[in-house]
Amino acid sequence: MTIDEFRATFAVEPGYLNWAAFGPLSTTVIEDVRVDADLYVSGRQSGIDLVNEHAAEARDMLSQLLDVPLDWMTYQPSTTHGLQHAIYGITSGAVMASTGEWPSITVGITRAAEAMGRISAQFITPPDNMMTPEAIAEALTPETSAVVVSLVDFRTGYRADLAAIRDVIGDDRLLIVDAVQGFGVVQADYAAADVVTGNGYKWLRAGRGGGWASFSDEARNRLDPVLSNVAGLDGGLILDAVGKPAPTAAAFQTSAPDFLACARLVAGLQDVVSVGVESIEAELGQRTAEVIAIADRFDIDVITPRGAGQRAGIVALAPRNDGAAMLGASLANGGLVTTTRSGSVRVAVHAGTDDETMRMFEDAVAAFAQHAH
């Protein structure tokens, strides 16, 4: 698939710049969903099996895209579920995360510390809310046993360098990565992490329910699968007795996958695999550079790093004099969908964002600047 064919799978109306919140579905996903929903109607076993096979297909494609062994992959209902399996499984020490992370991380660490009594939370507030290798290195203590970090920060758009983080934390600490804001649109060294988790409903344009997580052999050795249940048993389902958790990553699962969600996820992944993450990343780099150039032209501060390798699809704008609400309103008036929160406006482009949307964005920013300056 060429990048233009990939762009043709975007059926979204002009003005949509909120891919970090929700990804309107790809046309590939819509077409596959219709077929799979029909297969679930008659009750014919062959039809049910065909739909259910998408779970294995999803694992296979995910392991290829992450470049990790197939048996590291697990199905999860969401990113948060994947994080919970990892965080509740940590057996000792202090678990480091930024106070500015998406709450799935900070709430998860706090609840696990309270409930299990085995770990403590080590929250840090790094400069500019960015979990750089330097900020992590500076905060490390002998007690730090794990670091939980977003591949791409939901607010600032900062893209973490996983290999560099691994270098500073060493091999004895666990690296748990929330990849939901970057997986499938930017390349990353996922093999540097012990746990990587994400979902299909943002950048993969596949809707909710298609979550996943990879657990390395080291993660399986060092984490307790305390949230494991029937889908995580050694040797499959056992009745009239309580089986042991699987010796592999499969232990970090609770119930059977939502197979229709897996079907959507597979279709979303197919788009990505056929065009290639590298092409999507290049296109995204151009679009985010355009957003930054427009902000510069109208003298609006940009929080997101300017280096293309340090961002993905999110650009955070911080107009001076508490102007975020006003900029957000101006964008909404101009027919744009963005997120305004904590004093900044998050603009999230995708590779399929069209020129008309960029023009609408520039016009709305110009209208804001006219009133603000």
Ligand X SMILES: Cc1ncc(COP(=O)(O)O)c(C=O)c1O
Give the three-state DSSP class for 97: strand
Among the listed ranges 67-75, 178-186, 248-256, 319-327, the one in contact with ligand X (CB under 6 A) is 178-186
Nearer to ligand X, 330 or 338 (CB): 338
Q: Residue 44 and residue 145: Cα distance in Å, rounded?
A: 50
User: Smallest distance, Å, CB 144 to ligand X?
Assistant: 21
User: Smallest distance, Å, CB 76 to ligand X?
Assistant: 8
Q: Does 304 bind ligand X (CB under 6 A)?
A: no
Q: Residue 174 and residue 211: Cα distance in Å, rounded?
A: 21
Q: Residue 296 and residue 48: Cα distance in Å, rounded?
A: 54
User: Smallest distance, Å, CB 235 to ligand X?
Assistant: 29
Residue 29: enclosing H or E segment and its boundaries?
helix 27-39
Among candidate residues 305, 287, 306, the one with its CA nearest the CA of residue 359: 287
Strand pairing of 344-348 and 339-341? antiparallel
Contact 16, 32 (CB under 8 A): no
Which residues in 319-357 are b (16+ Cβ under 10 Å) and which e? beeebbebbbebbeebebbbbbeeebbbbbbbbbbbeeb
User: Smallest distance, Å, CB 81 to ligand X?
Assistant: 7
User: Smallest distance, Å, CB 158 to ligand X?
Assistant: 11
Q: Residue 231 and residue 245: Cα distance in Å, rounded?
A: 9
Q: Does 199 bind ligand X (CB under 6 A)?
A: yes
Among the listed ranges 38-46, 174-182, 223-231, 361-369, the one in contact with ligand X (CB under 6 A) is 174-182
User: Smallest distance, Å, CB 155 to ligand X?
Assistant: 8
Which of 18, 84, 145, 181 lies at the binding interface for ligand X (CB under 6 A)? 181
Q: Does 288 bind ligand X (CB under 6 A)?
A: no
- Strand residue runs (E) in 38-119: 73-76, 94-98
Nearer to ligand X, 108 or 245 (CB): 108
Q: Of residues 64-83, which lie at the interface with ligand X (CB under 6 A)?
A: 78-80
User: Smallest distance, Å, CB 200 to ligand X?
Assistant: 9
Among the listed ranges 176-184, 224-232, 298-306, 328-336, the one in contact with ligand X (CB under 6 A) is 176-184
Q: Does 62 bind ligand X (CB under 6 A)?
A: no
Among candidate residues 209, 171, 210, the one with its CA nearest the CA of residue 191: 171
Q: Of residues 100-129, which lie at the interface with ligand X (CB under 6 A)?
A: 102, 104
Among candidate residues 152, 136, 244, 264, the one with its CA nearest the CA of residue 198: 152
User: Smallest distance, Å, CB 73 to ligand X?
Assistant: 16
Q: Residue 7 and residue 205: Cα distance in Å, rounded?
A: 12
User: Smallest distance, Å, CB 180 to ligand X?
Assistant: 5
Helix axes 355-372, 277-297, angle to 10 degrees: 30
Nearer to ligand X, 269 or 369 (CB): 269
Which of 68, 86, 180, 294 lies at the binding interface for ligand X (CB under 6 A)? 180
Which of 150, 253, 304, 353 lies at the binding interface for ligand X (CB under 6 A)? 150
Neighbours of 138 (CB within 10 A): 12
Q: Residue 50 and residue 32: Cα distance in Å, rounded?
A: 12
Q: Does 154 bind ligand X (CB under 6 A)?
A: yes
- Strand residue runs (E) in the chain: 73-76, 94-98, 120-124, 144-150, 174-178, 195-198, 211-215, 301-302, 314-318, 339-341, 344-348
Nearer to ligand X, 94 or 314 (CB): 314
Count of residues in contact with ligand X, rule CB under 6 A: 12
Nearer to ligand X, 205 or 246 (CB): 205
Which of 23, 211, 232, 268 lies at the binding interface for ligand X (CB under 6 A)? 211
Binding footprint of ligand X on the chain (CB under 6 A): 78-80, 102, 104, 150, 154, 178, 180-181, 199, 211
